[in-house]
């Protein structure tokens, strides 16, 4: 049985375009398509992110947010400088197993983890 990752869905209590802008500005996501009345789909380096509000016609319990998504970069210092320039909140910076790592606060209580690719 073959399986693959389909998408990561981020549900927001805020404006989905504002949330999408966070991932675009800080982590290089690009817009794949708009979802009229709901939000949009982003491409985050090959991972599809669906960014929407709570969807009224779904009957199961829905939750806002996600814990974290990890992004590896070969330009850790430059990426971190851009994140700080954009005013994003750095939750923690560490040096783990020979590489720099930090966690960034994202909208709706989610987090992004930035990892230095070595």
At 33 the pLDDT is: 96
> Would you state the structure tokens that stand for residue 16, as one six-digit string?
């989905």
Angle at 62 between CA 61 and CA 65, to 5 degrees: 150
For the stretch 25-59, pLDDT in tens is 999 999 999 998 889 999 999 999 999 998 888 88
57, exposed or middle or buried, with CB in 10 Å at 0-12, 13-18, 19+?
A: exposed
| Residue percentage of the chain with pLDDT more than 90 | 65
In DSSP terms, 12 is beta-bridged to 53
């Amino acid at each position: 049985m073959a399986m693959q990752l389909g998408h990561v869905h981020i549900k927001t209590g805020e404006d989905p375009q504002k949330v999408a802008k966070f991932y675009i500005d800080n982590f290089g996501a690009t817009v794949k398509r708009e979802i009229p009345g709901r939000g949009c789909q982003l491409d985050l380096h090959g991972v599809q992110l669906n960014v929407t509000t709570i969807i009224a016609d779904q009957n199961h319990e829905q939750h806002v947010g996600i814990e974290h998504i990890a992004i590896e970069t070969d330009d850790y210092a430059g990426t971190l400088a851009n994140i700080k320039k954009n005013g994003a909140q750095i939750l923690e910076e560490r040096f783990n197993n020979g590489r720099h790592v930090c966690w960034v606060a994202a909208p709706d209580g989610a987090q992004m983890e930035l990892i230095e690719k070595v």
